[in-house]
Structure 1
Amino acid sequence: MRTTWLLTALGASAFAVASPVNVERAVSDSPFSLYAYGTGLSGLRLFTSGNATYVGNYELVGDDQAAPVIFTKQDDDTLTGSPDTSVTSTASWSNITFYVPSPSSSKHAVGFAKSVGDVPEIVTEFIFYGAWIATIDTTGTLQTLWYVTPTETDGIYSLKWNATGDSTEGKITIALRTTAPAS
């Protein structure tokens, strides 16, 4: 088992690890889902219509392309997503790449792309520390800059990255995890 030295609390938005970065791989090669946890959010499942990313009940958006995402971790640490066909069969997107805006980007929206070469200023490599998903910056610091903002539909939130410069009211800092809420 590889060891990581954690220098700050796991719940912080960024935490440092010893270099070189050795992070336990908690996610197996099995497909998995991601869930948002934060103030007032108890494990809302991540979903998409093929581009923008949300958490909440996908059925509330009224889009036949909306579906919870089943992720597969690739050898290059990218995550590809496909619709969870156990709950919906209408979504036609599949094998799309999950991304967050890069540190140089002024954008905040987290998304999916069919071809990441078509999307400038993004990060597509993810690391896991236990059930938590993060990125690693150039200094070797794990970044967990996830947050959500409410949409016009109650109970549906847009998934965002790096709240700096986002003046949206009602934003909620979250942890994005592979752990489903307790039933």
Structure 2
Amino acid sequence: MGEVVNVIVAFAVIVFIFRWVTSGNDSPEQRSAVSALGFRPKPVTQDMVDTISNMFPDIPADNIRFDLLRTGSIEQTTNKILERGFLDAPPAAYHTLYPRNTAPAPTGAPAPTAATTATQKKKTESLISRYHLEERAQTAENIQEEQLGGKAVWEDTAERREASLRERKAQMILAARQRMLAQQVAQEKAAN
């Protein structure tokens, strides 16, 4: 029985010495991060966060960075997203250590990338303008909805099938626009 107590005491002393030796290398910022987060943060670069953000744009960047601080691995974080479908939100202590960048971009900042301008353009661009249907939208007022859509015929060549698909897309967009306009008119009449 006395040997078991000696082994437990020796093990506790070894663990204490190991923790004391390894914690001596930490800076005060690292010690505060460890105490606030509950784990030793791994180094994370913005490229790592961007890589995962590009794969999963619906996951918030703070959630990605917090999980990367925990794992230190893009693969582990990606697997966690694929398995669970989400990442845990960081605790409040995370935001004190890693505040969000809400400040406006400095004047010497690089211009917006093509990806950001493309997403801004997508938000403001309508389907009518995206598929260049402005002229057809003005003349579509006279077309009956039964004429739009219909069954597609299997074409002989890939080019003709592609053209048929494009035409059906345009017809569906115009039909949806007509339904929306009719609904707006009905709502205006109901309001009066």
Shorter chain as denominator, the TM-score bin is under 0.3
Q: TM-score, normalised by structure 2?
A: 0.17
Higher normalized strand content (fraction of residues): 1
Q: Say which structure, 1 or 2, has more relative contact order (CA 8 Å, 6+ apart).
A: 1
Q: TM-score, normalised by structure 1?
A: 0.17
Flag the structure with larger Rg: 2
